[in-house]
Amino acid sequence: MEINKKVPSFKLPGTSGLQFNLSDYKGQYLVIYFYPKDATPGCTTQGVDFRDAFKKFQALGAQIFGISRDTLKSHESFKAKFTFPFELLSDEEEKACELFGVIKMKNMYGKQVRGIERSTFIIDPNGKLIQAWRGVKVEGHIKEVLQFIKQHNSI
């Protein structure tokens, strides 16, 4: 996945019965964030931060989607518990994870485990990848994403 290159279309099941298809969102900015696991502290904070800034993203014409390898059932509970106004996509087969290259070996409690590296991507209204953040630290990240879209929108 390279900056300024068209993102290949992909489909994933989502919460609220959504069948996400990238090509359905032509003409809009997409903020796609990958996170390791539903209902864990960092992932909850990240989702809540996106939730709290949701109206600002909408005002800029941006849609938000969170992706992890969790099941739709897990996603529905996570979304409901924290009243996320955006949909979560289930990538149990790691199709989108592979496409965006977010699966990494990570250290967890002294063991090497394969998991999602917290990452955020912005796709422009023409379907091109225009920004990528990898190895995201949650604190302050959503403001940075919002600022990027604001600047890009005014070009």
Judge whether 114 and 92 are in contact, CB under 8 Å.
no
Catalytic residue list contains 97? no
Please state, in angstroms and as integers, the Cα–Cα distance from residue 12 to each residue in 18, 91, 96, 152, following that order: 8, 7, 8, 27
Catalytic annotation, pick one of 43, 67, 72, 129: 43
144 Cβ neighbours under 8 A, 6+ residues apart: 133
* Residues designated catalytic: 43
